[in-house]
Chain A
């Protein structure tokens, strides 16, 4: 590309580049909330068995990290999300491509998928337990279901929306089905696919909670429900924060890939 983005500094040379540190502003409100949280517990607005001090959460999880217990939970949850996303994205790509490309496939499958996409994640859990037992496959497949829909929906509409002008180019130059797909359709639909994958990864985190809350003896979701059984709000809040952290991390990862692949 001939045009490269250029940053222009506004203001004189004397000022430090304020724009670069703008993101720090986003930390102000969360930090204030933590302070308020801490104060409200010490002052006694909340009972400690309902809401522990922020520091309690940190020490509890630090202790679990040192003892090694925490890593097992994190590892198994990440593994489930990862496998589920791989399967869900792969199946989503296959069906999204088929339905985006072939009118008949779309007529056959799209109404079904469209009506299934709104089934809440928890509703699937009993069925998957019944079919696949309480082992890993039930959880991974449940997460795959979650990851599938955004990928399928975005890719399918992305492919169906590829510019007619470019498809005519492919037709006139006799590219053939495969080359047309490889050189025109998939690159054109790539941004939609990446949007779908981002959504799919997000939903995978939702579904992993559903799976682990109900049927697991390990994982962050299990920690959540265990915290409730043991009346340990510090564990519950810590697990929630852990989900937030991992969810954001994976989202940043996909966003980074998106930025690199879509270079226009």
Chain B
């Protein structure tokens, strides 16, 4: 994905909060309630700079809630959640980007404009370089030719990829992805997984990915956090010590998948 890498170069390296020996994400004893519902109960999680962590768990165990807390959308919770040492409620979430579980596209804007929403504030949207970057991202997610289509005319999988491109346009230090490939066919899913790995390696992004797909979690991650619920708790953390680049069929990955499956209690 050379198209992705070339644009950034100079500007964004200094945007990235410089915290080499500080952990990118620290969650301590996080408890989040919605009224009576306890969505998360005493969750601990540490993600170091540039690490790729997946979160798996049954539906309703609080995976989306965890990402919402980390991205600064939840004002009220108990415990600590910090990005590069700064509490997410005090601006710690500024360098965090999120791809929502739903596409959440602007229905009146076309695909290009929707992707451009992700451009960081210091990028001038009228700059031809910005336009090129948007086009490159749209190409990366396989939607060339749909630049001026409205979301209403897109399939679910296409809308999800627009949302993914918007998240990538933001080029954050910490990228949170909530089941970003759930609506894609197997082949497109593999392509987009590899594309995400390319971006992650090139940009040294810290990634937390929520997924239901055990194969995906094993293939992509340095570490897999298994949540059980509800209320959501960390059941097990599984290190994926498998050399990259990996093959989906690697024996070691198969073993990891079994461990995840066991932890989920499927």
Contacts of A24 in B (CB 8 A): none
Asked if B106 and A173 make an inter-chain contact with CB atoms under 8 angstroms apart, the answer reads: no
Query: What's the Cα separation between A264 and B153 when bound, in Å?
Result: 10
Asked if B106 and A183 make an inter-chain contact with CB atoms under 8 angstroms apart, the answer reads: yes
Q: Enumerate A167-216 residues with CB–CB distance to B below 8 Å.
A: 168-176, 179, 183-184, 187-188, 190
Contacts of A165 in B (CB 8 A): 100, 102, 104
Asked if B97 and A172 make an inter-chain contact with CB atoms under 8 angstroms apart, the answer reads: yes
Query: What's the Cα separation between A174 and B122 when bound, in Å?
Result: 11
Partner of A172, one of B98, B106, B149: B98
Asked if A174 and B104 make an inter-chain contact with CB atoms under 8 angstroms apart, the answer reads: no
Asked if B121 and A183 make an inter-chain contact with CB atoms under 8 angstroms apart, the answer reads: no
Asked if A171 and B117 make an inter-chain contact with CB atoms under 8 angstroms apart, the answer reads: no
SS class, residues of chain B in contact with chain A: loop
Q: Enumerate B41-76 residues with CB–CB distance to A below 8 Å.
A: 71-73
Q: Enumerate B101-149 residues with CB–CB distance to A below 8 Å.
A: 102, 104, 106-109, 117-118, 120-121, 149
Asked if B153 and A184 make an inter-chain contact with CB atoms under 8 angstroms apart, the answer reads: no
Counting CB contacts under 8 A, is A64 at the interface?
Answer: no
Query: What's the Cα separation between A3 and B96 when bound, in Å?
Result: 36
Asked if B102 and A172 make an inter-chain contact with CB atoms under 8 angstroms apart, the answer reads: no
Q: Enumerate B199-226 residues with CB–CB distance to A below 8 Å.
A: none
A-B contact count (CB 8 A): 56
Asked if B121 and A1 make an inter-chain contact with CB atoms under 8 angstroms apart, the answer reads: no
Q: Which residue on A lies nearest to B107, using beta carbons? A: A264
Given contacts A1-B150, A3-B153, A176-B121, contact A171 B72 (CB under 8 A): yes
Given contacts A2-B153, A264-B152, contact A172 B73 (CB under 8 A): yes
Contacts of A3 in B (CB 8 A): 152-153
Q: Enumerate A132-179 residues with CB–CB distance to B below 8 Å.
A: 165-166, 168-176, 179
Q: How large is the interface on A (under 10, 10 to 19, 20 to 34, 35 or more residues)?
A: 20 to 34
Query: What's the Cα separation between A164 and B150 when bound, in Å?
Result: 20
Asked if B104 and A169 make an inter-chain contact with CB atoms under 8 angstroms apart, the answer reads: yes
Given contacts A2-B153, A264-B152, contact A166 B106 (CB under 8 A): yes
Count B-side interface residues using an 8 Å CB cutoff.
Answer: 24
Q: Which residue on A lies nearest to B149, using beta carbons? A: A2
Query: What's the Cα separation between A170 and B150 when bound, in Å?
Result: 18
Chain A 1-44 interface mask (CB, 8 Å, partner B; 1/0): 11100000000000000000000000000000000000000000
Query: What's the Cα separation between A165 and B107 when bound, in Å?
Result: 12
Q: Which residue on B lies nearest to A168, using beta carbons? A: B73
Partner of A264, one of B94, B108, B149: B108
Contacts of B107 in A (CB 8 A): 264
Query: What's the Cα separation between A193 and B203 when bound, in Å?
Result: 43
Given contacts A166-B104, A187-B109, contact A173 B170 (CB under 8 A): yes
Asked if B150 and A184 make an inter-chain contact with CB atoms under 8 angstroms apart, the answer reads: no
Asked if A169 and B100 make an inter-chain contact with CB atoms under 8 angstroms apart, the answer reads: yes
Contacts of A170 in B (CB 8 A): 117
Query: What's the Cα separation between A53 and B175 when bound, in Å?
Result: 78
Given contacts A2-B153, A264-B107, contact A169 B117 (CB under 8 A): yes
Q: Enumerate A34-59 residues with CB–CB distance to B below 8 Å.
A: none
Which of A1, A2, A169, A179 has the most chain B CB atoms closer than 10 A to its own CB?
A: A169
Partner of A1, one of B96, B109, B152: B152
Query: What's the Cα separation between A185 and B71 when bound, in Å?
Result: 21
Q: Which residue on B lies nearest to A262, using beta carbons? A: B108
Q: Which residue on B lies nearest to A169, using beta carbons? A: B104
Contacts of A166 in B (CB 8 A): 104, 106
Query: What's the Cα separation between A174 and B153 when bound, in Å?
Result: 27
Counting CB contacts under 8 A, is B161 at the interface?
Answer: no
Q: How far is the CB of B125 from chain A (nearest CB, A)?
A: 9
Query: What's the Cα separation between A263 and B94 when bound, in Å?
Result: 34
Q: How far is the CB of B236 from chain A (nearest CB, A)?
A: 29
Query: What's the Cα separation between A263 and B108 when bound, in Å?
Result: 8
Q: Which residue on B lies nearest to A165, using beta carbons? A: B104
Query: What's the Cα separation between A172 and B99 when bound, in Å?
Result: 9
Which residue numbers of A lie inside 8 Å of B, CB to CB?
1-3, 165-166, 168-176, 179, 183-184, 187-188, 190, 263-264
Q: List 9 A-B contacts (CB under 8 A).
A: A165-B100, A169-B100, A171-B73, A175-B117, A176-B121, A183-B109, A183-B117, A263-B108, A264-B150
Which residue numbers of B lie inside 8 Å of A, CB to CB?
71-73, 94, 96-98, 100, 102, 104, 106-109, 117-118, 120-121, 149-150, 152-153, 166, 170
Beyond A1-B150, A183-B106, list 4 extra A-B contacts (CB 8 Å).
A171-B72, A173-B118, A174-B120, A264-B108
The 10 closest A-B pairs by CB, nearest first: A2-B153, A187-B108, A172-B98, A165-B104, A169-B104, A1-B153, A172-B71, A1-B150, A173-B118, A168-B73
